[in-house]
Every structure is written in structure tokens, then in C-alpha cells.
Structure 1
Amino acid sequence: MTDGFDILEVLEHIDPSRLDYQEWVNVGMALKEEGHTAADWDAWSQRDTGRYHPGECFRKWDSFRGTLQPVTGGTIVQMAKDQGWQPEVGHELDWDDTISDERVVVDKNWIEGQEVEEPKDWDPTSQLIKYLETLFEAGENVGYVTASWEKDGKYLPTQGNWDRTAGQLIEQLSKCGGDIGSVLGDYKPEAGAWIRFNPLDGKGCKNDNVTEYRYALVESDATDLAKQNAIIREMELPVACLVHSGKKSIHAIVRVDAANYDEYRKRVNYLYEVCKKNGLEIDTQNRNPSRLSRMPGVMRNGRKQFLIDTNIGKASWNEWYEWIESVNDDLPDPESLQGVWDNLPELAPCLIGGVLRQGHKMLIAGPSKAGKSFLLIEMCIAIAEGRPWLGWPCTQGHVMYVNLELDRASCLHRFKDVYQALGWEPRNLDNIDIWNLRGKSVPMDKLAPKLIRRAAKKDYIAIIIDPIYKVITGDENSADQMAAFCNQFDKICTELGTAVIYCHHHSKGAQGGKRSMDRASGSGVFARDPDALLDLIELDVTPELMAQQESVMVCDTCIRYLNSLFDDWEDDVSQDDMLSYVQMLNYCKKKLSAGQYSTLNSLVEAAAKKVKALTAWRIDGTLREFPKFAPVNLWFDYPAHRPDKSGVLKDIQPDAEKAPWQRGTDKIKKNAQGRKTERKKAVEEAIEGCNFGDIPTVKDVAEYLGISERTARDRIKEHGGYTYEDGKVRKKEVEEDTGKP
């Protein structure tokens, strides 16, 4: 915000094609200065189709490193005005109008001044020593100024000194016998002396020489001295040292504890804004971290510069910031249940029947290859068309799909592929909006307000974000950081009245033995925050079951093909035969011409190939608003999921859910089958290669395999495809089918 304006909204009123190159660059620098992203600059720049070059904004963005006179959001406001934009003009307040009291803790109409008293026992060196001990570590260099010069009746400081550490100064001051001038140099009593409140590197006294951005200066010449003192204390500013300037102001050295210059600048801007709202008119020239403040322990034109207090208010910047932000909250007041018992508010209508209400949140979690994105696209389509999703009825309405992972073309093709796989007519495509953000995604705390702004007038009943790992802010395993992240979904739900649906991946390792809400990767906040959690886990399908599915698919293919050619063929086939792919193929061979049968064979081969690509899945649910539903079993038949209507998946248990004895038995069976397959293959290799093409003997096979002849005979017999007679091993002959019983 600048002067009360939302910079991105102001930017909408600027035509980039009307700007020269430097003006365009200034817009980017101003956006970065105001805390926005390169994606914002890039999105706006695309409006100038003649000069826009993909990637140019992102390359230049990194070169904007800030200056002592940065380009700010005010530049953007002025550009918009130059192009004809007129900001909304304020108006005289009526009795019913409200005034924002955000971050206001001081009632300026009732604040009473708090007098500042000079110290009765004047000990200059102890004043300065206490100041140094409070603000600096012993090894940190301190900047100070005692020499000054006069201009227009004012005494101005020179650059001063910065060559000694706080420890050295404290030691020398302790031995000076009260003569500060012998340590720091004599100062003019009419001018006083100055000191810098942040440590320096010992090489200079500019901002670049500051080593720790620890403190900021709050000074106000425009407010009564007693009121300054009272307001500073009422605001509970985290003040390390409070110094009387020897004239008409108090210098508050406030803890800001910034990690770098950019953070320092933002925190000081915030500090000054809060001070101004609470009636403390700040001298904004004091923003710089290398700024001089008044040194305690010296005289200034007959008055003392002295320490009023140390370590007052909140203990740290973070503690103060959290307090000041919470003072004027917009939380509702508690209400009595008695007052609403007979007039309860209506529940939000269902979006997905028995699973999710409108305005609530849902998480879909699962491993890779589960087709989570396809599942979300299916949901988009179901809501847009008002059709069931995996058997659950969906309310029809407008939906936004936020695509963070796929390129635009792939995403659009997926929607068409899913429509076709579901066999649905695309009658309500205008109900689906897609926001393609691959390569342009930003952290969720930045994305949420941009999303809200774009969706405010669209009346969406669902916003689907796929996937969330692209926008996670902070450590995925940190509960407090993920709680703050998930709060962004609440913000979208509350401000738009829409449901927010998103997907996340499983943690590593076996998942079958875990509860559905414990499978999602990262902090447990992920699973406990949404109102509905749907979790996918893969089912281990046996070869026999897949063979059964292949049989079903072949029969269905035959039936569909016959239906396309004939009206009365079903009179020739029993219901039982329709369930046997052998009988169906035999019937088709008789019924169809050679060309038709060849076409059917191609369809059957394609169907069999499709079956081999099927994967089986189970959806478990953890719901806040509805009773738990029975697990839903489904097949992922790329690119769509279809519920298992036959019930063949119902009794399959994921490995980790099986009893230990059952897992052991299954493992033994698999190992035994594997060993049998390996022995069979070894026998084949031995028979084919042990005698250089001549008919091998049992003895040859035994020597080749390194086993006894008795074991060799057992292996040959176990194989089933060979026989031995008179010691010679031969392949069994396959008898021709004579057609006789």
C-alpha cells in the first residue's frame, strides 16, 4: 500500500505500451520496493504485446538491489494519474461512518503527559557506560561524534570516530575520573555530542558499514515532551534506551532486530506508521540504520542529555509486533447459546453430497501415480456439469482450477481427454475457469490476495489448487508454519464464500498401516486442518484378479462390437456364455466375417493392453461435517477413475493392513513362485546349451546345473515341457487338435 492505494490495482490503470524503457524499469523497481513479485511485473508487462519478451522481467528483477533513494510505489501512483486515473476522493464523515483504528493503542484525546525528570545525581560516565552496555557487545565498534560546526545558528555533527569497540570505550571511561572528553574528545557545551546506535565495521559510518540492523530511532519534535514519554510507554515500544535530547525531544532507541537492510527498512516503515497512528509525529529523516542520536552523559546549551530509562516496553520486536497486530482484532464477540437455540443458522449447502459443504476445505492426499490431478479435473467437470463424482452427487456451479504444475497446453488437453474418457457431453464449459500459473507461482501468502482479487466477482462455488507443494511457505514439517500456511485457505473460503480443494502427496514409506489422516507428508496440520480429507492408497491386485478383469474387458468388447453390427445376436448366446471370453470369441468367430473378426481381434488386443495398465485404489475419508463413509474402491483407467461396481476390490487389503502371519504367508508364496520360475528357466537354458545342439542327456543337464542326476530328473519333470527316455532329454511333442473328444 502507498498513500492508502493498492499498488496492483493502481497498476491496472497504466498502459505499459505508453511508457518508455526507463519508465517501464521504474515500475519494476517500485513493485520490488513495495514487496511485490516479478510475476506481478511480468503479468502487467504482457499487456504490451509489441515489446513484451518472456523471461525479461525475471532476469532484470534480480538486478534491482535497492538504493539510498529507492523508486517507490508513489512513482506508480503518479504514472497512473498522468495517464488519466483519478483516485477516489474522500468525503466528510457522517455520524454513521467508521474510522479505522487498526494498530491504534493510544487514545489521543485522553492521554496524560508523563513528566521527564533530570537525574538528581549527575554522573556523566555512568550514563554513557550504561548506554554502551545496553546497546552493544564488547567487541562491536561504536560510532560517535564530539566535534561539530555551526551553520545558520545550528550546530551540525562531523562524521566523527568509529575506531574503538564498546569494550575499549567502557574500560577507558571507567578510568577517566568523570572526564568524558579525555576519552572521546572535547565537545562544545552549546552543541552537545552524538552517538550511533547500531554497531559498525570499523571502516566508516555509512549504512554499508553497519554490521547489525538491531535498532531504529524514534524521535518527535512536534509533540510535547511529556506526551512523547507517555505515548512511547503506552505503545509498549520495545525500547532499549530512552534518551533526553537536552532540548525538546526524546530519542527512543527501539529494537527492530532485522536480519538485513531490506527487512530493516520495512520494519522501520511499519514502526513509523504505527507511531503516527498513535499520535507521535516522527522525524522521518532518522530512518537510516547509521543515523546519529543524542549521546547521554553530556551537556547541551546548559541542559543535560541523559538516560531516562532502559529496557522498557515489550522485550523484542516480534513480541511487540504480535501484540500491536492483535490489539485491534476483528474477531467476533462470544455469543450465548440460549439466544440462538430456537433460531439456529442454516448449515452451508452441500457441494459434494455427504462429503463437503460449500465454503469448506478439502484435501486429497495420495502417492505418485495415483492420478490425483486427473481426480481433481474429474471433480471440476462433475461440479461444472452437475453430475456425480465417484458416485457422490455434486452441486452444479462455477469452478476455478488453479494449475501450478502443467504447462497450459497439457492442462487444457487433459480436460478434454477426461471429458471423453467419462463419456460426458461438454455442455457447461463456461462453468470452468483455469488459472495457469506454471513458472509463475508465488508463496501462498502472496497468492491468496491475488486469487481473491481475481475471483471476487466470479461467484465460484469451488476453487481447486493443484498441487500445494508449489506454494507452500515455510517448513512442511513445522506445525506453526503450516498452520499459518493453511490459514490462507481459510482466508479464501471466508472472503469468497467458496470451497477450497487441494491435493498433497504422501510421506515416504509404506502407508497401508497408517490412518488415512496420517499419510499426508509433513506436519499433521495438513490432515487436521481441512473439513474433509480423502486419502488414496494403492491396492495390490493379484495376477488372477487381473486375468479376471481381462476376461470381463474382452467380453464387454465383444458385446459392444456385436451390438454395433446386429440387433438379435443375443438370442444365440446364453447369459453364462456372455461371461466367458472363450465362448464369446468362439461365437464371434462363427458369427463374423473374416474382416469383421480381424477388426474385433484388434479391439480385443487393445482392451487387453488397457487392462494391463489398470491400477486399483481405495479412498478412505476423514470428515468433520458428515459421518464416515465406507471405503470407495476404484480403478484408475487412464485418464479417468471409475468406481469398482463389481466389488472385486472390496476384500483386498493393503500389505500393511494384513495380519503379520498373512504377510509372511504371502511372502513365502511369492518367494516359492519366484524360485519355481527361476528353476524352470534354468532347466530350459541347460537343455538348450549343455550339449552344443546335440540331444542332451540327464547327466549333461546335471553337470551344467551343478546338481545330482536325481535332482536333474526332478527338475525336468517339474518343468513339464520336457521328457527323458533312455537318459536322453527331449521336448514334449504337442498333439494336434483332431477335434475328437
Structure 2
Amino acid sequence: MEYTTDLLEILNNIDPSLLDYQEWCCVGMALKFEGYTASDWDSWSQRDSKRYHKNECYRKWDSFTGSGVTGGTIVQYARNQGWVPPMINQESGHELDWDDVIEKDEQVIIDKNWIEGREVREPTNWNPVNELITYLEILFDSTENVGYVTKTWLKDEKHLPTQGCWDRTAGKLIQQLNKCDGDIGAVLGDYNKEAGAWIRFNPLDGKGCKNSNVTDFKYALVESDSMPIAEQNTVLRELELPIACLVHSGGKSLHAIVRIEANDMREYRKRVDYLYNICKKNGLDVDTQNRNPSRLSRMPGVIRNGHKQFLVDTNIGKESWDEWYEWIESINDDLPEPESLVEFWNNLPQLAPPLIEGILRQGHKMLVAGPSKAGKSFTLIELCIAIAEGKKWLNWQCAQGKTLYVNLELDRPSCLHRFKDVYNALGIKPNNLSNIDIWNLRGKSIPMDKLAPKLIRRASKKDYIAVVIDPIYKVITGDENSADQMANFCNQFDKICNELGTSVIYCHHHSKGSQGGKRSMDRASGSGVFARDPDALLDLIELDLNEAHYKQLRNMSACKCCVDYLRANRPELLNELSQDDVLSQSIMIDFCKSKLGHDYYKELDTLVNEARDKATSITAWRIEGTLREFSKFPPVNLYFEYPVHVVDQDGVLQDIDPDDVKPQWQKAKEKRQEQAEKNKNKKVNQFEIEFSNIEIEGREVPAEELANKLNTTPKTLLAWLGKSKKRNEDLAENFEAYYGGDGKRCIKRKDK
């Protein structure tokens, strides 16, 4: 990249003390990339005397290889600290000179046409010595040298000040003034009452009175003699300037000694430029010759051509430069003007295309909320993959494009493994991995108002259509229960959307307590701003699965396992199975056992058992939505089968209500059913144990003997294996009754 200004000149506009450690390193990387030397980096680093360590730059320099950090980083850091690059095209603009004014209507507080003058009158009960002492006490520390002028010389019949004196401290002058019996001339030297006297408002080093002799850049002079003094007084006060002392010059102007509080000459110039610019925009034509820090101002407590130079007021306006600057900036905004609908009625702007069909438009915001262990992070990873590959996410088609996943919670290896695991579990081929960027910030997260500009800077040239932030509790700025603080927090997402033209998608946790009875938009923890700010809110709530559901899930898992195994090893056998056959685990297991060899079936049996065990860890969830741009969608039910969510296509979950919204009679019924299921399972286990004990003896298992051991009757036991209402499916699938050699009913396993 070519720069119109040498990078070292640009670097002079960056204060290293305002950069963090990583940013400081990036400056070194950028200098090396652009062909500069370690000495250049070291010289600049010395400006941060508190953190500078000799030879540290040289030690790090050799390690900067292939960083990819370019000179653009230095340009951006300079911009962040207020540097404005010069304009090159002279036809469209020019580099601003010292006296140029930026003609914009921003930062205008006072209407020039409606200034009402505030009169300033000479004091009648005047104590010159007290005024000068007050002036010195406000502007100077007792140990600081003060420059002043009482001698003049004539040029074209005009009295001009000499260089004056600078050999005494403010403390010494105040001490002598207190003892002078009202005779200022006895302390400072006699002055010409036609000309008056002057004083320098910034402290000097006692060796001279030039800018280079100024030891502290505390104040600047604001003076204008092109408007009546009464109007000057009004403007200075309404601008809330941080004025330490306001002095009548004894002529046509007021001298406002304004707190600048700069650290060095560079910052002093920058602040004075800003100050004068604000004054000019608000009708005060400032004398720009007064901008030097060593400038003379009129001294209070003396006579000038028959008029008093006196203190009008002290310590008015804002208390400090920072307070005034923030106030000025807050008054002016860059908000757009209101628009008339009639102008656009027949030519409406085009809507942003959908990012997630029926849910979210590109450039808009979405929140995914849910309780702990809902798999919210996996949901967002699934979404990143769907956008990258242009696939469906759960029930909704996604546009294809680049995504940035901001990982704030997982360590880097775990995060990368998760993406690969989810890809594999979804069965999606990774054809567009270049569409997914991951920014791993675990242990490095900062508040969102600080993260947003760093994110924008890194993403500005990436053309992301989605930025996913997971999770936001790591970067929340302020109290999450405070509406105004959370509104400011959410505004950071708007900045990202507006600056990058991308969608921002983030997740947040539920508040504590039951959630089923709440609306989806009221479940997220903290202020209601979280739910009302995004353009789309998707909320996850858990559905309670009973034993019947888990039994069905185990059956489905076993069937799927068998089908997948046959498809991989003996696909021709699938033609022998009907649509109903593949939905029954007993039929599928018997079929596989009869068709596959011993080794194959042994391997399949292990896989089936693993699938059944995994089914017991599946959880069920319902997604409800609150949408701003689209109509409400029916709730979507899904299973979380680690590591992915799978939509319930069979409608099994449709009638399940979250536990805390069920009526008492339904809860009682489900509890009875659950207990009955437990009793049934207990019965099956006991049957297996007693049957095996008799079977070990190598003889037939008489129904009467087995019934006695189970504390039931032979008739009831046979009913469990038959087709009556008391039939037990688990037992009937594996056991059957037959007539033994003596004509009595016996029990055997079906595979015997």
C-alpha cells in the first residue's frame, strides 16, 4: 500500500501511552512490513516513558515474521487518536491551513441572530492588588514562574509590549503584592497608564518567554473585538467554556483564559484549533494570533487609557476541558433529518434480502435465548455452517455468504473441534470452509463498547453477511437489569450492522425460575431491552420427555442403526423390508440376525446398544419466535442429539407442554403413567431374573412355577405374553408360551 504521507510522520500523531500492549506490537509489525527499522519503532516508543524498556523493541523485532499487519494499521491508530489525513485531489478539496474553518452546521449552539447582550460594567469598589492576586492564585501554582510585561515601546504611535520579566514565581509575587500597600508598580515595575500591562497565562521555566519556555500547557486565550462586549460576554457564557478567569481588556474585548489542560504542544495545538473552531461556528470571531501558549493577555488590576483592566468573573462554565468537550460533542449529533412519506410513496427503497428465510433480513439483529445446556452455542455453530454452505438451518433456508464467529467462551481447540463435529453430524460436505472465520477471544474479551470498534476494523474488508457473538454475557457493559445501560450496550450491535452492512446474531441466557408460563420475549435474563431490541428473537424452552417418549426414541435409534448398518454393508437386503418393518426394532433385529453372519451381527448388536444408550441422553426443545419483519411462525420442536439439533418431523413432541404450564390434573395423570411405566419395567426385570434362575437348571420353565416366584397367577403371567389387554410388549417380544411334554404350559425365549 502506498501512503501520501510518510508513515513516520503519521506515527508522530499516535501517542504510544494510549495504546495497549497488543496494539503497540502491531505498530512494530506494521513498520517492519513496510520496510522501516527497529530503530524507528524504538524512537517512537520512547515517548511512553513509563512503559518503555531499553532494547525491548530490538528483541521483539526479529520475531515479527509473516504477521500480515500492514501500514494501514498505523493509519487507523492515528485516525483513532484524531489525526485526519490530508486530501490529495486539489479539485475536490485541499489540506486545511491553520486559519481554515470547516464549513458545517455541526456544533452550533448559539443562533447568531438571537444573541442578547449581557452587559459588563466597570467595578466601582475596585481593589487592583486583590484582583491580581486572585488571578495569580487561580492560574498558577506557587512554585511556577510567571511572565509579565509593564514596559512598552512605540511603533506608529502604538504602544507595544516588550518581552518583559519571568524571573519570579507566583508565590513570590503574591507575597510581595500583599506587602505593597496597593502599589502594584512597586512589585512589577511602573507601567504606562495609556498602554496598560500584560501577563502570560501559562507558566514559564524562568529562562525566557517563548513557546519553548512554557512548562505546562494549561490555558489558552479566547479574544474577539469584532462584536460588542455585552454580546461577547453572552457567547462565552452560553458556550459553557471552561473559563478560569474572564478579564476586561480596558478596550473593545474580553480576554477569556480557558482551561486547555494539554499534555504537550501537539495536543495544545489540536485543542486550541478545536476551541477556536467552536467559537467561530457560534458567532465569536476569535483573534487567531492569540493561539500561542506563551501569548500575552491583559493583566487585571491596572489602568489602560483611562479604563480599568479588571476581572469580570472567575471559574465559569464547565470545570474542565474534558467535561466541556464531552458536553459539546453530546449536543451535536449525526442523526438524519425527518423525511416526508410523500417523496417515497411511489418509489419505496428495496428491502434487505433475507439472511434466514422468514426470520431475519441481512443487516438486522437476532437474539437466540435459552437456558443452560440447551446447546445454544451448537445452534449458532449450526447456523454459521448453514450460511457458509447455503443450506437449511433447522426449518429455514439461509442465504450463502461469509460469517464471523466471535468465540468468547471456548478455548481455541475445543471451538475448532466443535465446528468439525457439527459438520460431520449434520452430514454436510465442507465445500465452503473459507466462508467461516473464527475470532477466538476466550480470556481476552473486553466490554462491547471497546470490542465493537476493534471488530469493525478487522471486518471492514471481509464482506461478512453475518457476525455471530457467542455469548454476550462476556462482553456486557453495565448492569444487565438497567434499561438505559442495556440500551447503550445494544447500540453497539447497531454500530456493527451499520458500519459493516452485516447481520449481528448473538445468544443470551434465560432468567432464573420457571419459564413455561412466560412469553418467549420475556424469558431472557436482564432488562426487557434484550428482547425488544433485536429484529428477531428465537427462544428455546425445554420439553419434558417421559419414559414412553424415551422408549420410542430408543426404538427409533435402534431401527436407524440397523438401516444404516445394512445400507453400509448389505444394501441389497433393504429391498426385502417394508416401510412398516423399518419402524420396529424387534423386526429389524430379527431380520438382521437371520440375514447377517455372526461377526456382522455381533458388531451390529454393539452399535444398537450404543444407539439405545445415546437415546437416553437426548433432550427435547421448542423454539418460539418474536419477529419484527416477518409473520409469527408455528413453534418448532426439535431434539438435541449431541452435538446437533434435529427437527421433530414426526410430530411426536407437538402435544408436549413445558412442565410449568401444565394443569394439575395433567401433571397427576402423567405422574401415574410414569409410575405405571416404572412398575412395568420393574416387572420385566424381575421376570428376566426369575426366568434365568430356572433356565440355568437346564429344564423347561413351567408357567405355574414362574408365576409363583413372581407372586402372580399363571393366568396373569400368560396374559402378559398373549394378546389381551394385560399384554406386556417388552415380554411378548422376547418370550412365548407353549405346551410342555406333560401337557402343561411352559415359557421359552423366542430365539430358542
Deviation at residue 666 of structure 1 after TM alignment = 6.5
493-502 vs 380-389, which deviates more? 493-502
Structure 2 counterpart of 1:324:
328
Match of 2:90 in 1: 91
* CA spacing shift, 1:406–1:100, aligned 2, 3 Å: farther
Cα offsets for 1:177-203 (capped at 9, x unmatched): x97899xx9776757899999xxxxxx
Classify the secondary structure of the residue corresponding to 1:417: helix
Name the CA distance, whole Å, in 1 between partners of 2:63 and 2:319. Answer: 55
Q: In structure 2, the residue corresponding to 1:569 is in which secondary structure?
A: helix
Contact 2:581–2:588 under 8 Å retained in 1: yes
Displacement, 1:532? 0.6
- CA shift for structure 1 position 13: 5.3
Equivalent of residue 563 in structure 2, options 559, 575, 598: 559
- Deviation string for 1:584-613 (max 9, x for gaps)? 223322222211111001211221232122
Do the aligned partners of residues 75 and 20 (structure 1) sit closer, same or farther apart at CA in structure 2, a change above 3 Å counting? farther
Residue aligning to 1:625: 629
* CA distance 1:50–1:565, change in 2 (3 Å): closer
Distance 2:368 2:247 in 1: 58
Q: Distance in 2 between matches of 1:363 and 1:334?
A: 29
Once the two structures are TM-superposed, the CA of residue 640 in structure 1 deviates from its matched residue by 1.4
Question: Taking structure 1 as reference, are residues 300 and 601 closer, same or farther at Cα in structure 2, changes over 3 Å only?
Answer: farther
Q: 1:77 to 1:332 in 2, by over 3 A?
A: closer
Give the RMSD, CA atoms, in angstroms: 5.8
Partner of 1:478: 482
1:542 corresponds to 2:546: yes
Where does the alignment leave 5 or more consecutive residues of structure 1 unmatched? 55-72, 79-85, 198-209, 679-718, 724-733
Q: SS of the counterpart of 2:511?
A: coil
CA distance in structure 2 between the aligned counterparts of 1:307 and 1:149, rounded to whole angstroms: 17
State the distance in 1 between where 2:76 and 2:43 align: 8
SS class of match (1:14): helix
Contact 1:103 1:325 in 2 (8 A): no
Pairing 1:275–2:276 present: yes
**Identity level (%):** 49
Amino acid at match of 1:493: C
Aligned to 2:164: 154
| Equivalent runs, 1:32-181 vs 2, <5 Å | 50=63, 89=88, 91=90, 93=92, 99=102, 101=104, 103-105=106-108, 117-124=120-127, 153-156=163-166, 158-161=168-171
Q: Is the 8 A contact 1:218 1:251 kept in 2?
A: no
- Evaluate the alpha carbon distance shift between residue 502 and residue 432 of structure 1 in structure 2; reply closer, same or farther with a 3 A threshold: same
Q: Provide Cα deviations, 1:392-421, integer angstroms capped at 9, x if missing partner.
A: 011122222223333333333222221111
- 1:156, distance to aligned residue in structure 2 (A): 3.2
Q: C-alpha offsets along residues 321-370 of structure 1, whole Å, 9 cap, x if unaligned?
A: 56633565333222222222222222111111110011111111222222
8 A Cα contact 1:493 1:499, kept in partner? yes
1:650 & 1:31 partners in 2: Cα distance? Answer: 65
Q: Is the 8 A contact 1:233 1:312 kept in 2?
A: yes
Q: Is 1:589 aligned to residue 593 of structure 2?
A: yes
Give 2:246's aligned residue: 242
Shift, 1:647, TM fit: 1.6
Work out which of the residue numbers 469, 477, 487 in structure 1 matches 2:491.
487
Q: Is 2:232 aligned against 1:219? A: no
Give SS of 1:627's match. coil
2: CA distance between counterparts of 1:94 and 1:523? 48
The change in CA–CA distance for 1:238 and 1:374 in structure 2 (over 3 A counts) is: same
CA distance in 2, matches of 1:671, 1:179: 105
2:673 maps to 1:644: no
The 8 Å contact of residues 198 and 296 in structure 2, kept in 1 or not, is answered as no
What is the aligned counterpart of 2:535 among 531, 534, 538?
531
Structure 2, unmatched stretches of 5+, are 1-6, 15-22, 68-73, 80-84, 152-161, 192-196, 204-215, 281-285, 683-707, 713-734, 738-745
Paired letter, 2:404: M
Match of 1:14 among 27, 31, 37: 31
Could you tell me which of 298, 306, 310 is aligned with 2:310? 306
Cα distance, 1:372 vs. partner? 1.6
SS of the equivalent of 2:605 reads: helix
Contact 1:104 1:274 in 2 (8 A): no
The letter for the 2-side match of 1:613 is S
- Aligned residue number for residue 603 of structure 1: 607
Instruction: Answer whether contact 1:276 1:282 (CA < 8 A) is retained.
Output: no
Preserved CA contact (<8 Å) 2:221 2:257: no
Indicate if the aligned counterparts of 1:399 and 1:463 stay in contact, CA closer than 8 A: yes
Shift of the 350–246 alpha-carbon distance from structure 1 to 2, 3 Å rule, reads same
Change over 3 Å in CA distance of 1:319–1:649 after alignment to 2: farther
Evaluate the alpha carbon distance shift between residue 4 and residue 549 of structure 1 in structure 2; reply closer, same or farther with a 3 A threshold: same
Change (3 A) 1:4 1:25: closer
Report the CA distance between 1:530 and its aligned residue.
0.9
- 1:515 equivalent to 2:519? Answer yes
CA contact (8 A) 1:220 1:249 kept: no
Contact 1:380–1:401 under 8 Å retained in 2: yes
C-alpha displacement of 1:298: 7.2
Counterpart in 2 of 1:407?
A: 411
In the other structure, the counterpart of 2:399 is 395
The amino acid of 2:241's aligned partner reads L
1:427–1:145 CA distance, 2 compared to 1 (3 A): closer
Give SS of 2:524's match.
coil
After TM superposition, give the deviation of residue 247 of structure 1 in Å: 8.7
1:446 aligns with 2:450: yes
Work out the CA distance in 2 between the residues paired with 1:663 and 1:285: 82
Q: CA-to-partner distance for each residue in 1:693-725, whole Å, 9 max, x for gaps?
A: xxxxxxxxxxxxxxxxxxxxxxxxxx99789xx
In structure 2, what is the equivalent of residue 201 of structure 1? Answer: none
State the SS of the aligned residue for 2:588.
helix
What secondary structure is seen at the aligned counterpart in 2 of 1:347?
coil
Q: 1:474 to 1:27 in 2, by over 3 A?
A: farther
Shift in alpha-carbon separation, 1:422–1:45, aligned structure 2, 3 A:
farther
Shift of 1:668: 9.2
Deviations 1:359-388, CA, capped at 9 Å, x for gaps:
111111222222222211111111121111
1:664–1:75 distance in 2 versus 1, CA, 3 Å: closer
1:432 to 436, 441, 447: 436
Whole-angstrom distance in 1 between the partners of 2:601 and 2:189: 111
Within 2, Cα distance between the matches of 1:326 and 1:11?
Answer: 35
Q: Give, as a single letter, the amino acid of the residue that structure 2 aligns with 1:237.
A: L
Instruction: Tell me the distance in 2 between the aligned counterparts of 1:561 and 1:115.
Output: 93
Distance 2:133 2:517 in 1: 62
Contact 2:141/2:170 (8 A) holds in 1:
no
Instruction: Provide the residue aligned with 2:729 in structure 1.
Output: none
2:606 counterpart letter in structure 1: S
CA positional deviation for 1:512: 2.4
Q: In the aligned structure 1, how far is the partner of 2:222 from the partner of 2:10?
A: 21
Q: Which amino acid aligns with 1:50?
A: S
Are residues 1:469 and 2:470 paired?
A: no
In structure 2, what residue type is equivalent to 1:14? L
